[in-house]
Amino acid sequence: MTTRIPGLRLAHLLAIALATLVLGGAAPASALSRVKDLASIEGVRQNQLVGYGIVVGLNGTGDTLNNIPFTKQSLQAMLERLGVNTRGATMRTQNLAAVMVTANLPPFSTQGTRIDVTVSSLGDAKSLQGGTLLVTPLLGADGEVYALAQGSVAIAGFSAEGDAAKVTRGVPTNARISNGANVEREIAFKLNDARSLRLSLRNPDFTTSKRIAAAINDFMGGDTAEPTDPATVTLQIPARYHGNMIRLVTEVEQLKVEPDQTAKVVVDERSGIIVMGRDVRVSTVAIAQGNLTVTITEQPQVSQPNPLSNGQTVVVPRTGVKVDTGDGNKLALVKEGVTLRELVDGLNALGVGPRDLISILQAIKAAGALQADIELM
């Protein structure tokens, strides 16, 4: 007996430990996100470029020179640079269009890098299909040329018309050129010379910034990160990372943090879209929804006289009126502290549509029972 009891206890303990591991493994994991997805490195960003150019080679779908004077001036200036004098001449071509060219210059782009550009018509051109963009300098906010764009444009839509019908799909006056610009100037940014980094949160929040700083400090083993405001976390570069900022940024970006956010309800009344966060809570409130609907239908009927009579055929009106007072809609009680899912289920049980749901949420907020902010788009 004395030799079997320890064995039984050992087997019992192993079973408990195994059950604990199984239950622990079945527990749902927290909604963790990488720092890379929550914040960006200050200074590492895109820069917008813009330029004015001409698209040629259109099949009669370009600008009308008599209506668009800047297109005519651009054509004359371009031909003069090529040695062709057109001053005083009458030009009626519709095979070119004045366009604005835009692009985003990625961070750390080097000379010779190719980037995509977007081409948008400025005048009354009907379509840019089949056109070619001539050499267009792309300027930055400082007025310097950072890239040159040129190439055949590609549109996502089309337009076709005849004498009595017209079909248009998409926007044929907007086009793109894949790898259509060549970077000519680099933006100097010496990342390895920095002695501190600033992480800019994409969704500013006090709690999230504090959690990011705590995760970095736990990883670094010291107080190197500090949240300076809800949108910024300042990181002092440890001595072991001097000259090797890529390693530091890579390790910091892979840290996992549980983000926090303010309870918010986003409403778009034009499309009837409602988006509610998971932290939305509702205090005890009673809800009733009902409308007075009056439906009037007209169904005229034709009344004909009997055969061989002197009567006339007349149209007799027939009107139907239906009144719906919403008697089937009852008062519903929403208990305190219900979750988002319970709130949605309860409102759906009332047969409430998106439009009425928007009004109900605004009324609940006005009553002080909705513990969330409502943002109207």
Quick: pLDDT tens for 301-339.
777 777 767 777 777 766 565 545 555 555 555 556 666
Can you tell me the mean pLDDT for 195-222?
Answer: 91
Closest CA to 133 of 96, 170, 160: 96
Residues 360, 351: contact at Cβ < 8 Å? no
Residue boundaries of the structural domains of the chain? 47-183, 196-257, 263-288+336-376
At residue 141, does pLDDT exceed 60? yes
Q: Cite the DSSP H helix spans in 39-159.
A: 69-81
Closest CA to 148 of 51, 253, 27: 51
The arithmetic mean of pLDDT across residues 34-61, rounded, is 91
How far, in Å, are 7, 11, 13, 117 from residue 2 at the CA level?
Answer: 10, 15, 18, 84
Predicted pLDDT of residue 163: 66
248 or 28, higher pLDDT: 248
Residue 136: name the closest of 180, 172, 173 by CA: 180
In our burial notation (b when 16+ CB lie closer than 10 A, e otherwise), range 52-85 reads ebbbbbbeebbbebeebeebbebbbebeeeeeee
Q: And the tokens for 211?
A: 């959690």
Phi–psi pair at 174, nearest 5 degrees: -125, 130
Distance (Å, whole) CA 318 – CA 331: 37
